[in-house]
A and B are shown apart, each in its own frame.
Chain A
Amino acid sequence: MYTHNGEDVFVIDGHIHLWDAREENIIHEGGEQFIQCFHDYHTGFTPEEEQWDMDTYRNYGAERMVEDLFRDGYVDMGIFQPTYLTDFYDEGFNTTGQNAELAEEYPERFVLNGSFDPRDGDEGIAHLERLKDDYDIQGVKLYTAEWRGDSKGWRLDSDEAFRFLDKCVELGIENIHAHKGPTIRPLNRDAFDVGDVDDAASSFPELNFIVEHIGFPRVDDFCHIATQETNVYGGLAVAAPFAQSRPRKFAEMMGELLFWVGEDNILFGSDYAIWEPDWLIPAVMDAELTQDERAEYGVELSPEVKRKFMGENAARLYDIDIEAKKEQFKDDAISREFDLGDTYEEASAD
């Protein structure tokens, strides 16, 4: 748990990965380009002394992940967002199956999400049903720019995608996380265009659409959609590290998001292991708007607002009872392993 000015902040990291980019898992040059590109984003925004070498970055493993998130990183719970990329990686890059191993070891600490690809047709529907059966998933992470054979991507507003969204409604998979953000080599830039979220979100009001990476480089398009659709959310991964290296730009971006998207519809995510919560969370929590920015946007980046996007908003989407979790974490496996029980004792005494 993070403590900010003496107050507890329950952190649900809305965007984490456990990937395998070892050379023996790569079966297409796109796989190597992809992890190299991820590493560029890592070094681009990570303080020099916190940067990882490429070997560690390819495959950091479950043990390190648990330490980085819970022991060192103030995170209370994390949401796995899978990225299959099975055309690039033999066993997949970061699949629900791979994530499940850790998620099932500490089920109280992790939310495990699935994924679908409408190009998989009937087989894809069966896969989604299986994920629901096996793991009772409440959300999916979608990668509209993923390559599949000759196809370089798909759209969320297509008939094929709507068939899968119908299936999500039927199965009670309510949270649809779509990567709509910076280009990742070798994927096509336009396949991450945020425009297709609009029609999907208005056609499926019972689902929540979380636009990961707030649509960069089309934040304005994303904001327009989020203003109109109450079931559209913004995931802060990629914007969050601005807080460390470019704090004024981060504050300005938060001003825009709070104005257009609203404080109830923003979710924090570290994008671990691209960035690590131990330095990222303090930077985000320390961010402040200037008087001019507060006047300009008519919003506050107050501790209450930060608590919302740091955990409360995600808790609402995933039916997590934060008070019950604090009680449980006084003595769960992670708290015992890292001696964290006391932090939750003090919290509930408040």
Chain B
Amino acid sequence: MGTTDSPADATETPVDPDAIRERLDRVNDPELDRSIVELQYIDDIDIDGGSVTVTFVLPTAWCSPAFAWMMATGIRDEVRALPGVTDVTVRLPDHMHGEQITTGVNREQSFESIFEDAEDGIADVRRKLDEKARFARQYDAIRALRDSGLDPDQIVSLTRDDIDLEFRSAAVAVSVRDGVLTVTAPREPLSEYLEKARATGLVTDGTDRLFADRDGSPLDPEPEAFEFSLRDARLAVSNIEGQATICASLHESRNDVTIDEPGD
């Protein structure tokens, strides 16, 4: 535990509360694909020397233990990576499995050892949610490319090497027609998409195709099929946002917070 007044600690880098919040912003609710900071799940951050305790609350007492587990480990790992932090304690009050989850996460135990009768392992759950999130993020990414003038044929054949994320702070460079032409597109939808495309293993090296259908199969450039896949990705967005609406309503009612609607 932290001992703030010990001379040893005084020479360490002090822990910055803003830096913690910024770091926590990288942790997402895996089902809603949105930051737990934005969703107002962070209830309290307590700093005692190098010792940090993060308390988070969820919309209901019965939110999926697997999802809660992912968020708790995310909090632990992100905060621990900050300079000056010597140990992290995660707390989850008012959850039916809060005690089990935080004890397990704080002791670095595995989900499977705590929830022995869970039907899926944590990696399986995460993969399924990542795949849904990837497909939903594809909607904004493809729309951004289309608005930049690319046609379905060009979009479908893009590979990781065709995207230069470092081009400008707000824009990426996209190489089309075998590098004959370079167009720019907004950065955020593409960088966010790529993050999930990497997490799902769809895009691992430079020659991998960027986009895929819901089931991971290559996109069809034929206009009708392409349009259908885009609508399907739109549906994936609506599903996540619809679920987010349910969670936000429950969260606001139980925990007295106000959450901005995504996309508004």
Most buried by A among B62, B132, B246: B246
The answer on a CB contact under 8 Å between B236 and A246 is no
Give B43-64 interface residues, CB cut-off 8 Å to A.
60-62, 64
**Count of chain A to chain B residue pairs whose CB atoms are closer than 8 Å in the complex:** 75
**Interfacial chain B residues near A40, Cβ < 8 Å:** 60, 250, 253-254
The B interface is mostly helix, strand or loop, or mixed, namely helix
Q: Cβ of B1 < 8 Å from any Cβ of A? A: no
CA A182 – CA B250 in complex, angstroms?
A: 12
Give B204-263 interface residues, CB cut-off 8 Å to A.
231-232, 234-236, 238-239, 241-243, 245-246, 248-250, 252-254, 261
**Interfacial chain B residues near A185, Cβ < 8 Å:** 60-62, 96
The answer on a CB contact under 8 Å between A182 and B246 is yes
The answer on a CB contact under 8 Å between B261 and A246 is yes
The answer on a CB contact under 8 Å between A216 and B242 is yes
| Given A186-B62, A216-B246; A249-B261 close (CB under 8 Å) | yes
A326 to chain B, nearest CB (A): 35
Q: Cβ of B5 < 8 Å from any Cβ of A? A: no
CA A186 – CA B31 in complex, angstroms?
A: 19
The answer on a CB contact under 8 Å between A246 and B249 is yes
B22 to chain A, nearest CB (A): 29
Q: Cβ of B166 < 8 Å from any Cβ of A? A: no
**Interface code B127-155, partner A: CB below 8 Å = 1, 0 otherwise?**
00000100000000000000000000000
The answer on a CB contact under 8 Å between B64 and A37 is no
**Interfacial chain A residues near B232, Cβ < 8 Å:** 220
Interface residues of B (CB under 8 A from A): 31, 60-62, 64, 96, 119, 132, 231-232, 234-236, 238-239, 241-243, 245-246, 248-250, 252-254, 261, 264
The answer on a CB contact under 8 Å between A217 and B31 is yes
Given contacts A220-B235, A220-B239, 18 further A-B contacts (CB under 8 A): A40-B250, A44-B246, A44-B249, A44-B250, A44-B252, A44-B254, A185-B60, A185-B62, A185-B96, A186-B62, A186-B96, A189-B64, A217-B31, A220-B232, A223-B235, A245-B249, A249-B261, A256-B238
The answer on a CB contact under 8 Å between A248 and B264 is yes
A35 to chain B, nearest CB (A): 13
**Interfacial chain B residues near A45, Cβ < 8 Å:** 249
Most buried by B among A183, A189, A238, A296: A189
The answer on a CB contact under 8 Å between A249 and B242 is yes
Most buried by B among A216, A219, A259: A219
The answer on a CB contact under 8 Å between B238 and A252 is yes
The answer on a CB contact under 8 Å between B243 and A216 is yes
**Interface code A185-226, partner B: CB below 8 Å = 1, 0 otherwise?**
110011000000000000000000000000011111001000
Q: Can you report 15 A-B residue pairs in the complex whose CB atoms are below 8 A from each other?
A: A33-B96, A37-B62, A40-B253, A45-B249, A183-B64, A185-B96, A189-B64, A190-B119, A216-B242, A219-B235, A219-B239, A249-B242, A249-B261, A256-B238, A259-B231
Q: Which residue of A lies closest to B119 (CB)?
A: A190
Closest 3 CB pairs of A and B: A185-B62, A217-B243, A44-B249
B225 to chain A, nearest CB (A): 15
Q: Cβ of A231 < 8 Å from any Cβ of B? A: no
B235 to chain A, nearest CB (A): 5
CA A246 – CA B96 in complex, angstroms?
A: 28
**Interface code A233-245, partner B: CB below 8 Å = 1, 0 otherwise?**
0000011001001
The answer on a CB contact under 8 Å between B119 and A249 is no
B142 to chain A, nearest CB (A): 14
**Interfacial chain B residues near A296, Cβ < 8 Å:** 234
A179 to chain B, nearest CB (A): 15
Give A34-87 interface residues, CB cut-off 8 Å to B.
37, 40-41, 43-45
CA A311 – CA B126 in complex, angstroms?
A: 41
| Given A220-B235, A246-B245, A253-B238; A41-B250 close (CB under 8 Å) | yes
Q: Cβ of A260 < 8 Å from any Cβ of B? A: yes
